[in-house]
């Protein structure tokens, strides 16, 4: 899953694509490099990011969705938003999947909207908002609390008639680096939910903090963590660098033939 951010302030500068032309160029490159999905976001969810209105998010997002749908009709697009209205508008403009960092907690209408639209839904774990989450990384047992939260929300979704669900443990979202590594070490145990698992660790602080570097220098560490995630059964890698992630998958598949 290749990340395209139509934001001026996402944490990794090279993922920021201002305007339709830049986003189309990135989409073309990612699809050529082997991306199975494109994940489009117009609201920066980095810790402490500036809040923007739903209207501004929509205005940034929809022209890109429409352009990619027209230029690359085979592309599968997920929409990285916690707002039900933005998600619905994007689906109606040609997107296919809703990727909700809030896991239904930031918009009470999200689960009902997914049920009505009958589209696949990526259910992520977080606490608080992008503005407050760093203060909320307290757990007695991070794996059990994240697992139980995702399991309970999946039951809610099933009761509403939503069955096409992908889960994301939410690495770095209201989690310290140590907590994120503890979750990564147990990715295989999320398979008890019998749902596809998405791992999104690309260039995050949990990598460059350990290495004493920056997001711009975290590609090698990202590849290492992606490979570890593959060995633990993750199904989808959400990445800024598609070519390198696809190569990791190919090598992992060769080892496991």
Q: What is the pLDDT of residue 136?
A: 82
Q: Rounded CA gap, 176 and 134, in Å?
A: 8
Q: Which of 83, 127, 205, 238 is catalytic?
A: 238
Active site residue 204: yes
Q: How far is CA 237 from CA 87, 91, 92, 165, in A?
A: 21, 22, 26, 16
pLDDT surpasses 80 at 48: no
**pLDDT tens track for 178-234:** 999 999 999 999 999 999 999 999 999 999 999 999 999 999 999 999 999 999 999
**pLDDT tens track for 145-172:** 999 999 999 999 999 999 999 999 999 9
Q: Which of 153, 175, 204, 205 is catalytic?
A: 204
Domain ranges of the chain: 2-255
**pLDDT tens track for 4-24:** 988 765 544 554 456 888 899
Which pTM value belongs to this model? 0.93
pLDDT surpasses 80 at 255: yes
CATH architecture of 2-255: Alpha-Beta Barrel (3.20)
Give the mean pLDDT of the chain: 92
Q: What is the pLDDT of residue 14?
A: 59
Active site residue 46: no
Specify the range with the lowest mean pLDDT, choosing from 27-36, 103-112, 124-133, 201-210.
124-133
């Amino acid at each position: 899953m290749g990340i395209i951010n139509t934001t001026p302030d996402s944490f990794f500068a090279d993922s920021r694509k201002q305007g339709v032309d830049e986003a189309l160029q990135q989409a073309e490159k990612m699809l050529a490099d082997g991306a199975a999905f494109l994940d489009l976001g117009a609201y920066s969810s980095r810790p402490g990011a500036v809040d923007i209105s739903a209207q501004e998010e929509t205005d940034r997002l929809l022209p890109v969705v429409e352009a990619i749908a027209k230029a690359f009709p085979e592309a599968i697009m997920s929409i990285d938003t916690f707002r039900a209205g933005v998600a619905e508008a994007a689906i109606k403009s040609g997107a296919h999947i809703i990727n909700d960092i809030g896991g239904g907690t930031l918009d009470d209408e999200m689960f009902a909207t997914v049920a009505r639209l009958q589209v696949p839904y990526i259910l992520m774990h977080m606490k608080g908002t992008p503005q407050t989450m760093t203060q909320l990384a307290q757990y007695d047992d991070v794996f059990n609390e994240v697992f139980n939260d995702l399991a309970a929300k999946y039951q809610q979704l099933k009761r509403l008639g939503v069955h096409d669900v992908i889960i994301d443990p939410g690495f770095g979202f209201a989690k310290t680096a140590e907590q994120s590594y503890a979750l990564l070490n147990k990715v295989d145990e999320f398979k008890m939910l019998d749902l596809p698992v998405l791992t999104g660790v690309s260039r995050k602080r949990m990598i460059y903090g350990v290495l004493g570097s920056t997001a711009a220098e975290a590609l090698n560490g990202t590849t290492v963590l992606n490979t570890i995630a593959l060995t633990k059964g993750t199904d989808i890698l959400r990445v800024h660098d598609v070519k390198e992630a696809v190569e990791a998958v190919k090598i992992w598949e060769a080892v496991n033939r």
